[in-house]
């Protein structure tokens, strides 16, 4: 319990906790069954509709949307607290609108783009995704070779993108492409490409672990007008980075929620299950799993909160975001592994959420930058700046 939390944050947490407990948790058994039997890890429309209705009623809508667009514009601290709470359940649900590109649009969209894309996006009437990785450039997006070439007043895009989420539900995608020469991130520009633009082809669906799907995209002489350039020409990398930093803190908050759930399940199991006449709770191996999980969950939550406060104060959290991404995913992976072990054969079933969490966290160690790339970046910064505080 956080004594420093103000009244509004505490009540918001209470509201979200109740929503998760009473609306989302009861759907878990059906979600797990469906995922195990059909591979589909999505809510049915009849399950989702009442949840969206409830969110509208409760004002849990547009949490990170700017106030001038009718949103709540929560602080990063509160937004991440909400993220932690909603991550405790395996039921796939995000508070609408699903808005990962909002921060990037907010930073660089022109007034026309705000009107045409950002407003409907913020209101939940449009969906979008972002295409960064390529078959030859993943953890190092600076190696991308998808190219946009100016032709009259248009841009003609050719190339290939991969590991893009949510493509079939999206009304537009943000596409990163090279528009000029330059090392690493120089010369990379962001474009808004609407679905059904000729030459924008969904090549194939790729089934991932953790119930997720991603898509490979091909751009074949895909022609878009100048008005689709998002932000400055050749400088698309920095706003994209801004988006990624927030995503990485979200990964941290999600892992706190997941660890909390796994820990709770492990504690219940330890208190109830006896082997050879001794309760698991009385065995040191299990006690240490529980103690270590508790210690690390606390540390991780503080890391996320500290970074959120820095972000709210206008600071740069690139370094902290990397640290959080590494620590969160590795810790969650280990705690989930122990929670599954603690449940024995039951932990291996697809009836418990643990295995699906486990797969999802495994995935998190890759997306938004693999662990090793983050470690490399952390070390590089530290080696270059000996004597600075962090």
Binding residues vs another protein (CB under 8 A): 1, 7-8, 10-12, 14-15, 18-19, 57-60, 72
Minimum distance, C-beta of residue 70 to another protein, in the bound complex (Å) = 11
In the bound complex, what is the minimum distance in angstroms from residue 78's beta carbon to another protein? 10
If the CB atoms of residues 12 and 255 are measured against another protein, the closer one turns out to be 12
Least distance between another protein and beta carbon 312 (Å): 17
How many CA atoms, within 13 angstroms, populate the side-chain half-sphere of residue 370? 9
- Report the candidate in 64, 214, 249, 208 with the shortest Cα–Cα distance to residue 131: 214
* Closest to another protein by CB, 67 or 196: 67
Least distance from another protein to the Cβ atom of residue 22, Å: 9
Nearer to another protein, 57 or 112 (CB): 57
Q: Which is nearer to another protein, 82 or 188 (CB)?
A: 82
Q: Compute the least distance from the CB of residue 18 to another protein, in Å.
A: 6
Residue with Cβ nearer another protein (8 or 282): 8
The minimum distance between CB 15 and another protein, in angstroms, equals 5
3-state SS, the chain, equals: CCCCCCHHHHHHHHHHHHHHHHHHHHHHHHHHHHHHHHCCCCCCHHHHHHHHHHHHHHCCCCCCCCHHHCCCCCCHHHHHHHHHHHCCCCCCCCCCCCCCCHHHHHHHCCHHHHHHHHHHHHCCCCCEEEECCECCECCCHHHCCCEEEEECCEEEEEEEEEEEECHHHCCEEEEEEECCCCCCCCCEEEEEEECCCCCEEEEEEEECCCCCEEEEEEEEEEEEEHHHEECCCCECHHHHHHHHHHHHHHHHHHHHHHHHHHHHHHHHHHHHCEECCEEHHHCHHHHHHHHHHHHHHHHHHHHHHHHHHHHHCCCCCHHHHHHHHHHHHHHHHHHHHHHHHHCHHHHCCCCCCHHHHHHHHHHHCCCCCCHHHHHHHHHHHHHHCCCCCC
* Nearest-approach distance from CB 9 to another protein, in angstroms: 9
Q: Which is nearer to another protein, 9 or 341 (CB)?
A: 9
Q: How far is the CB of 58 from another protein (least distance, A)?
A: 5
Nearer of residues 14 and 151 to another protein, judged by Cβ: 14
Minimum CB separation of residue 1 from another protein in Å reads 6
Tell me whether residue 60 or residue 364 sits nearer to another protein (CB atom): 60
Q: Select 58 or 208, whichever has its Cβ closest to another protein.
A: 58
How far apart CA 173 and CA 193 sit, in angstroms, is: 5
């Amino acid at each position: 319990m956080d004594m420093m939390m103000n009244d509004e944050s505490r009540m918001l947490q209470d509201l979200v906790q109740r929503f998760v407990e009473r609306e989302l948790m009861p759907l878990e058994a059906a979600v797990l069954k469906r995922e195990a039997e059909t591979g589909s890890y999505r809510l049915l429309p009849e399950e989702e509709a009442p949840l969206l209705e409830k969110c509208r009623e409760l004002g849990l809508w547009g949490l990170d949307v700017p106030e001038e667009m009718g949103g709540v514009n929560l602080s990063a601290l509160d937004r991440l607290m909400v993220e932690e709470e909603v991550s405790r359940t395996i039921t796939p649900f995000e508070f609408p609108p699903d808005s990962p590109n909002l921060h990037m649009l907010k930073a660089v969209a022109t007034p026309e783009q705000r009107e045409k894309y950002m407003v409907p996006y913020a209101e939940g009437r449009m969906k979008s995704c972002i295409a960064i990785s390529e078959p030859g450039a993943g953890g190092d997006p600076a190696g991308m070779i998808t190219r946009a070439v100016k032709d009259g007043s248009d841009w003609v895009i050719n190339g290939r993108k991969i590991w893009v989420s949510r493509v079939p539900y999206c009304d537009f995608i943000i596409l990163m492409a090279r528009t000029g020469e330059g090392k690493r991130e120089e010369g990379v520009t962001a474009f808004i490409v609407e679905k059904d633009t000729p030459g924008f082809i969904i090549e194939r669906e790729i089934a991932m672990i953790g119930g997720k799907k991603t898509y490979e995209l091909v751009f074949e002489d895909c022609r878009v007008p100048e008005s689709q350039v998002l932000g400055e020409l050749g400088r698309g990398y920095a706003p994209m980075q801004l988006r990624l930093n927030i995503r990485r803190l979200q990964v941290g908050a999600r892992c706190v929620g997941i660890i909390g759930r796994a820990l709770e399940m492990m504690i219940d199991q330890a208190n109830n299950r006896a082997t050879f006449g001794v309760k698991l709770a009385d065995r040191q191996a299990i006690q240490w799993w529980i103690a270590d999980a508790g210690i690390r969950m606390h540390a991780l939550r503080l890391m996320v909160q500290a970074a959120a406060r820095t972000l709210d104060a206008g600071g740069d959290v690139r370094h902290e975001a990397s640290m959080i991404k590494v620590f969160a995913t590795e810790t969650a992976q280990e705690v989930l592994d122990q929670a599954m072990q603690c449940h024995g054969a039951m932990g291996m079933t697809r009836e418990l959420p643990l295995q699906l969490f486990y797969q999802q966290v495994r995935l998190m160690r890759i997306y938004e930058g693999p662990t090793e790339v983050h470690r490399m970046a952390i070390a590089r910064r530290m080696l270059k700046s000996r004597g600075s505080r962090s």
